[in-house]
């Protein structure tokens, strides 16, 4: 795989958006997208955690698992790295930056089980990215996820006032909006392609 990291960065935000084309992180995506403020909070937390854990997982995979011949343990190892990092981050924030802790704190535990974080790490392994490519993919993936959830929350806030058929309220409506967004993003597919 020899793709420019900058291309990967933009592609993972727009054309291969992890929510709209890979369906990752849907649970919190549907649950937290009811208002703009908390969706942006969660989005920020995901950008931050995803960028760093992708790098950590890359290093662990390349320098510990491959030399030891333990590639098949990657699922367990990746999830432990993510959980440990989130726990550590929570403690550091609480101790040193309490302001940020109060805005992001409640979202951090949710992130451990966000499948987007694990998914990005697994895609990174399957596509055999190098260090810079992984960095670009992790950061782009996080920004793409945040973009999608903020856009959905904005639309949901606006539509809240209108009348929606009863059965479609809640998740059903969010899914339809997401589907339309996915179609819109297909229009950008000429920019870059990484698959």
Partner 1 sequence: MRSEIKTITEKDLWTENPVIRQILGICSALAVTNLMANTFIMGMGVTFVTAFSSMTVSFLRHVIPRRIRMMVQTLIIASYVIIVDIILKAFLPEISANLGPYVGLIITNCIIMGRCEAYGQSNPPLLAFWDGMMSGLGYTMVLMFISFIRELMGFGTLFGIPILGDWWTRWTIMVMPASAFFVLAIIIWIVQARQSKKSV
Contact flag: residue 52 with partner 1 (CB under 8 A) = no
Q: Which of 12, 15, 22, 33 binds partner 1 (CB under 8 A)?
A: 22
Contact flag: residue 110 with partner 1 (CB under 8 A) = no
The encoded tokens of residue 16 equal 């291969």
Contact flag: residue 76 with partner 1 (CB under 8 A) = yes
| Alpha carbons 117 and 141: distance in angstroms, whole number | 9
| Among 60, 47, 67, residue whose Cα is nearest residue 125 | 60
The encoded tokens of residue 66 equal 């491959």
Q: 100 vs 182, which CB is nearer to partner 1?
A: 182
State the minimum distance, in angstroms, from the CB of residue 71 to partner 1.
Answer: 11
Which of these segments, 59-67, 99-107, 139-147, 164-172, binds partner 1 (CB under 8 A)? 164-172
Which of these segments, 6-14, 73-81, 133-141, 145-153, binds partner 1 (CB under 8 A)? 73-81
| Among 93, 144, 138, residue whose Cα is nearest residue 117 | 138
Contact flag: residue 123 with partner 1 (CB under 8 A) = yes
Which of these segments, 33-41, 57-65, 92-100, 162-170, binds partner 1 (CB under 8 A)? 162-170
Query: What's the Rg (C-alpha) of the chain?
Result: 17
The encoded tokens of residue 172 equal 């059903």
Task: Spell out the long-range contacts of 182-186 with Cβ–Cβ below 8 A and sequence spacing 24 or more.
Answer: 182/20, 182/21, 185/14, 185/15, 185/17, 185/20, 185/21
Contacting positions for partner 1 (CB under 8 A)? 20-27, 30, 72-76, 79, 83, 113-115, 118-119, 122-123, 126, 165-169, 171-173, 175-176, 178-180, 182-183, 186
């Amino acid at each position: 795989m020899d793709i420019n990291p900058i291309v990967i960065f933009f592609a993972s935000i727009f054309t291969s958006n992890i929510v709209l084309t890979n369906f990752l992180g849907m649970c919190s995506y549907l649950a937290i997208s009811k208002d703009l403020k908390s969706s942006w909070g969660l989005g920020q937390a995901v950008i931050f955690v995803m960028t760093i854990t992708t790098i950590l997982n890359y290093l662990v995979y390349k320098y510990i698992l491959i030399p030891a011949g333990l590639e098949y343990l990657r699922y367990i190892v990746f999830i432990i790295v993510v959980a440990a990092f989130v726990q550590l981050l929570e403690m550091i924030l609480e101790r040193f930056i309490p302001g940020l802790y109060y805005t992001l704190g409640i979202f951090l535990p949710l992130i451990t089980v966000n499948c987007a974080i694990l998914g990005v790490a697994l895609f990174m392994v399957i596509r055999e990215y190098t260090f810079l490519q992984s960095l670009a993919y992790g950061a782009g993936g996080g920004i793409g996820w945040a973009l999608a959830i903020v856009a959905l929350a904005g639309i949901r806030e606006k539509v809240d006032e209108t009348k929606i058929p009863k059965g479609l309220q809640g998740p059903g409506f969010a899914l339809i909006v997401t589907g339309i967004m996915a179609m819109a993003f297909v229009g950008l597919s000429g920019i870059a392609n990484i698959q």
